[in-house]
Amino acid sequence: MMGVLNVTPDSFSDGGRFATRPSATSHARRLIDEGADILDIGGESTRPGADPVEPAEQTRRVVPVIDNVRRFSDIPISIDTASARVAEEAVKAGADILNDVTALRGDPAMLEVAAEHQLPVVLMHMLGTPRTMQKSPVYEDVVKDIGDFLRQRIAFAVAGGIDENQVLVDPGFGFGKTVEHNLEMLRRLREFHCLGCPLVVGTSRKSMIGGVLDRPVDQRLFGTAATVAAAVVRGAHVVRVHDVAEMLDVVRMTEAIGGEAS
The set of catalytic residues is 206, 240
End-to-end CA distance of the chain: 24
Torsion of CA 43, 47, 49, 52, to 10 degrees: 20
Beta bridge partners of 3: 39, 241
Per-residue CA distances from 213 to 86, 179, 206, 234, 244 (Å): 37, 11, 11, 22, 21
Residues contacting 211, CB < 8 A, separation 6+: 179
